[in-house]
Chains A and B, each alone.
Chain A
Amino acid sequence: MFEQRPREEALKAPKFAYFRAQTLGDVFDVLVRHGDEAKLLAGGQSLVPALNMRLLEPRIIVDINHISGLAGIVEHGSGLRIGALTRLSEIGASPLVARLAPLFAQAVPFIAHLAIRNRGTIGGSLAQADPAAELPACALAVDAVLHLASARGLRAVAARDFFTGLYATALAPDEVITAIDVPAAPPETRSVFLELARRHGDYAIVGLAARARFTGRQAHDLRMVFFGADSKPVEARAAAVALRHSARVERIGSAQDALAHDLHPSADLQADRATKLHLARVLLARAVRALSEAA
């Protein structure tokens, strides 16, 4: 058997109490009593680094991994319902997601690495609302709806109302995300997911989730959501207008110019504001060409 060794006293994470929730009711009880001093542990791929670096010092960690019914992907209405605790690798491997929510299937390989995707969850990614994260942009681009639960009851919030700022969302301190509804991609929808990062799996410098519907070779209803280019995922509406909501290659230049109205990037460790805006222009051109060639 294993030899017992003397314990090192130094631990990375700050002191906290650990609570393993078995039901959503357990979670509500802790959140009602402790509010912001409690943090939910889902996949832990953002929370644990923050704890290890002592950026957060919650009094209580609520492990929600043992609550049944929070994970899984099912057809719901004409679209998909993805449980908040569904792992990113499961989303990436799901034939249902590939068929009904192809943008998500395209995005998953860009998220970190397999070992991270095996743990990380969609609910965690959306709640974290990292400005460089892939899934919040996808949720916005497909008009996903988030289901939130608390002791006060249930409510549904559209993705466009959910992301409110830098790491900020409409989630109240006593609420938990339970599921995400993704409407089925309409017939003849094509989507493109692009991301620029220094190495595969690194945080995006800038990324773009785009989709359009096609009637024959004619694209319409073009939606373009940039991430890493502002404090939260942003739909490039002015650029879409410049493209006449279509994939018109000859209008790429004016759409690129319109991006200055849509995006307000701030400098981060990876790039300054001008570089980010330039890279967003590059991605817009690539996406429009890809969509037009897909027709």
Chain B
Amino acid sequence: MSETLELHLVVNGETVRRRVRVRQSLADFLREDLGLTGTRVGCEHGVCGACTLRIDGAIARSCLVFAAQVDGAHVETIEGLSDSGEIADLQAAFRARNALQCGYCTAGVLVTAAELLRAERAPSRAEIRELLSGNYCRCTGYHAIVDAVEQVCRLRVAQG
């Protein structure tokens, strides 16, 4: 039982060892200790979705997880998803369709929307909106985001 802890995890495929304060959120750990500032911190109580990332393959709010909890886990941030090319088509569609303006929410939106790209059928616009209902965007009005996600999902399904 202590106030710091030796952390050993994998972030975007790289092994990381750090001593962390146990009350530091995963979002703050990534941003401040690892310099991975793509993960945004908005409301810091799980409402806005800006800090969404993957823990062991499942999306989660990194403001609602302490860094101490991901000891031994695989964490993927927007930097990892960008570098791997996994969502390159989605990112291109966001750009082409003006699905971002200030960009603050975009990383969280992309990580969340990527869940739909793994499905075998194209989701309806209602399904896209439902999945993204936990990601707030104050710029776009959401239509362009839904357009971009819908287009990429359809293309992916068409391409098998």
Binding site for B on A (CB under 8 A): 1-5, 7-8, 11-20, 41, 44-45, 48-49, 51-53, 60-61, 63, 65, 89, 109, 112-116, 118-119, 199-201
CA distance A12 to B71 in the complex (A): 20
Other 5 A-B pairs with CB < 8 A, given A5-B33, A52-B25, A115-B59: A4-B33, A11-B24, A17-B3, A44-B64, A113-B133
Q: Which of B45-53, B83-91, B98-106, B149-157 contacts A (4 or more CB under 8 A)?
A: B45-53
Is B110 an interface residue, CB under 8 A from the partner?
no
Which residues of chain B come closer than 8 Å to A89, judged between CB atoms?
58
Q: Is the CB of B64 within 8 A of A18?
A: no
Q: Is the CB of A16 within 8 A of B23?
A: yes
Q: Is the CB of B1 within 8 A of A119?
A: no
CA distance A18 to B23 in the complex (A): 8
Q: Chain B's interface: helix, strand, loop or mixed, by majority?
A: mixed
Binding site for A on B (CB under 8 A): 1-3, 5, 11, 14, 16, 21-25, 28, 32-36, 44-46, 49, 52, 58-61, 63-66, 68-69, 71, 112, 115, 129-131, 133-134
Q: Is the CB of B23 within 8 A of A114?
A: no
CA distance A53 to B46 in the complex (A): 11
Q: Is the CB of A1 within 8 A of B14?
A: yes
- With A52-B63, A113-B134, A116-B134 as contacts: A63 and B34 at CB distance below 8 Å: no
Partner of B14, one of A2, A14, A113: A2
Chain B residue with Cβ nearest A7: B32
Q: Is the CB of B33 within 8 A of A114?
A: no
Q: Is the CB of B133 within 8 A of A200?
A: yes
19 contacts between A and B (CB under 8 A): A2-B11, A2-B14, A2-B35, A3-B35, A4-B33, A8-B32, A11-B21, A18-B5, A18-B22, A18-B66, A41-B69, A52-B44, A109-B130, A112-B46, A115-B59, A115-B61, A116-B134, A118-B60, A201-B133
Partner of A119, one of B21, B23, B60: B60
4 nearest A-B residue pairs (beta carbon): A113-B134, A18-B22, A49-B45, A13-B23
Q: Is the CB of A2 within 8 A of B36?
A: yes
The distance from the CB of A185 to the nearest CB of chain B, in whole angstroms, is 26
Which residues of chain B come closer than 8 Å to A15, judged between CB atoms?
3, 23
The distance from the CB of B150 to the nearest CB of chain A, in whole angstroms, is 18
- With A5-B33, A8-B28, A63-B69 as contacts: A19 and B134 at CB distance below 8 Å: no
Q: Is the CB of B35 within 8 A of A5?
A: yes
Q: Is the CB of A18 within 8 A of B61?
A: no
Partner of A18, one of B1, B25, B59: B1
Q: Is the CB of B3 within 8 A of A44?
A: no
Q: Is the CB of A116 within 8 A of B61?
A: yes
